[in-house]
Amino acid sequence: MASVKLKPNESQEQLLRRFRKRVTNAGILSTVRRKRWHISKSELRRIEKKKAIRRSRRRLRKTTPR
């Protein structure tokens, strides 16, 4: 679990910003979203395969000269 302590002379906005950054870096929100509904292993593999294809296309687009 991500936790932050209030530093001296730190505003609430700065504290909240640090907390959000830690939550994002820890991957807590993505884990919660993933576990919200049950996804079968075959469905999970299909989703991961689509992500990999999308990543490879994005990389190919970046490296291809125009």
**Which amino acid would we find at residue 39?**
I
- The answer as to whether 32 is a domain residue is yes
Collapsed DSSP state (helix, strand, coil) of residue 62: helix
- The answer as to whether 27 is a domain residue is yes
What pLDDT, on a 0 to 100 scale, did the predictor assign at position 31? 85
For residue 29, give the H/E element and its range. Answer: helix 28-35
- The answer as to whether 59 is a domain residue is yes
What pLDDT, on a 0 to 100 scale, did the predictor assign at position 32? 87
Collapsed DSSP state (helix, strand, coil) of residue 26: helix
- The answer as to whether 56 is a domain residue is yes
Rounded distance, CA 25 to CA 19, Å?
Answer: 10
- The answer as to whether 7 is a domain residue is no
Q: Is the dihedral of CA 17, 18, 23, 26 positive or negative?
A: positive
Counting the structural domains of the chain, the total is 1
pLDDT in tens, 1-47: 788 999 999 999 999 999 999 999 888 888 888 888 888 999 999 99
